[in-house]
Amino acid sequence: ETGVTQTPRHLVMGMTNKKSLKCEQHLGHNAMYWYKQSAKKPLELMFVYSLEERVENNSVPSRFSPECPNSSHLFLHLHTLQPEDSALYLCASSQDVGMGGHQETQYFGPGTRLLVL
């Protein structure tokens, strides 16, 4: 399998549930990202990992907990979510995080459509 994959593709959960989103990249990249795409809003960056170390936390509530066990896998653990957290969650990867004015191209997975009831 190539590119960036995400599972599950669709998820329905109650506000008291705990679930996890999984992302896997098969590109040999060192950086991985979580984005949130809500209706009628621009994509919002949530977290950035570089070589399994978190380098950006974009003021995300603690009910979202990322985990990057290795450079190929990224998880987003969800607990006690709110209905307004319903959105498409996109994972992306890039060769490295942009440094020194150099920007790397990010490649996106298909997303997980999350509905919180």
The span of 11-19, 67-75, 76-84, 88-96 binding another protein (CB under 8 A) equals: 88-96
Q: Side chain identity at 67, as an amino acid letter?
A: E
**58 contributes a contact to another protein by CB under 8 A:** yes
**108 contributes a contact to another protein by CB under 8 A:** yes
**56 contributes a contact to another protein by CB under 8 A:** yes
Site string for another protein, 25-44 (x = CB under 8 A): ------x-x------xxxx-
Query: DSSP states of the chain as a string?
Result: --SEEEE-SEEEE-TT-EEEEEEEE-S--SEEEEEEE-TTS--EEEEEEETTEEEEE-S--TTEEEEEEETTEEEEEEES--GGG-EEEEEEEESS--BTTB-PPPEE---EEEEE-
Select from 14, 15, 98, 115 the one that contacts another protein (CB under 8 A): 98
Dig out the tokens for 80 from the structure.
């006690």
Output 13 or 45, the one with its CB closest to another protein. 45
Which residues make up the interface to another protein (CB under 8 A)? 4, 6, 31, 33, 40-43, 45, 48, 50, 55-56, 58, 90, 92, 94, 97-101, 103-111, 113
